[in-house]
Amino acid sequence: MAFNLSSIKRSEGVKAPRVMIYGPHGMGKTTFGAGAPAPIFILTEDGLGRLEVDHFPLARSFSDVTEAISTLYEQEHDFGTVVIDSLDWLDNLIWDDINHKYDAKDLAYGKGAVIAAEYWRNILDGLNALRDDKGMASVLIAHCEIKRFDSPETEPYERYQPKLQARSSAIVQEWCDAVLFANQRVIVKREEVGFNKEVSRGITTGERLVYTTEKPAYLAKNRFGLPDSLPLAWDAFASALSK
């Protein structure tokens, strides 16, 4: 490809954000997604509770999810955000489809993870099309798990991370503009127990936050220069984004 100065373009600033939010069950992740502009939910699990939001019928197959994305792309509507709830249940649908189409020998030696990664790229390509051509934001909701992290710089330690297969999780994280970890604020309190010994206890304040920058305890990132933590609410996220 030949380049010249006439090919130089200026970026148009922040596009509709692509966000993954993950954390413990019942933290308010779905409520966060419901607070986004004009949301439409693609449900892979029945987790709305009493929230009143627009949603497609519960997806029971991978093709149901891709059909919902295609419908949003092909038909006129006023929705501004597509919310997938949740990624780990979508991962189950992906593997159901893979196991139906492939034999065990086709999935051996890690080849199944490579195939699953292509499924995820298909989903993300569809969400990119909605962003580029429809101006839609994406909110991807996931549960969390605690897993050992083998750091090349320190001794191994455990941390929170999205509950997804490693290769698939890496693809989704790289695609997202922000990976937010939702949890309650925890304060570590040290108490003397006698004989010159102290114990440390984690005490929650009940305040729910999203953490935007990676720490040893959890995985997170953002491309917007956000504060390290924000209240767990879309309005707080959008306000910080506008600054």
45-71 residue pLDDT tens: 988 888 899 999 999 999 999 999 999
Which residue, 146, 242, 229, is CA-closest to 182?
229
User: Would you say 42 and 127 are in contact if contact means Cβ atoms under 8 Å apart?
Assistant: no
Q: What is the mean pLDDT of the chain?
A: 89
Which residue, 183, 221, 215, is CA-closest to 202?
183
| Residue 10 pLDDT class (50, 70, 90 cuts) | very low
User: Would you say 209 and 164 are in contact if contact means Cβ atoms under 8 Å apart?
Assistant: no
User: Would you say 177 and 224 are in contact if contact means Cβ atoms under 8 Å apart?
Assistant: yes
- Domain positions in the chain: 15-183+209-242
| 86 cis-preceded (ω within 30 degrees of 0) | yes
Residue 239 host element (H or E): helix 234-242
Q: In terms of pTM, does the model score above 0.85? A: yes
Range 15-183+209-242 has CATH code 3.40.50: yes
98-134 residue pLDDT tens: 999 999 888 898 899 999 999 999 999 999 999 999 9
Conformation bin of residue 86: beta by default, left when phi > 0, alpha when psi is -120 to 50: beta
Residue 241 host element (H or E): helix 234-242
**pLDDT for res 110:** 86
Angle at 228 between CA 139 and CA 234, to 5 degrees: 35
User: 3 - beta bridge partners?
Assistant: none
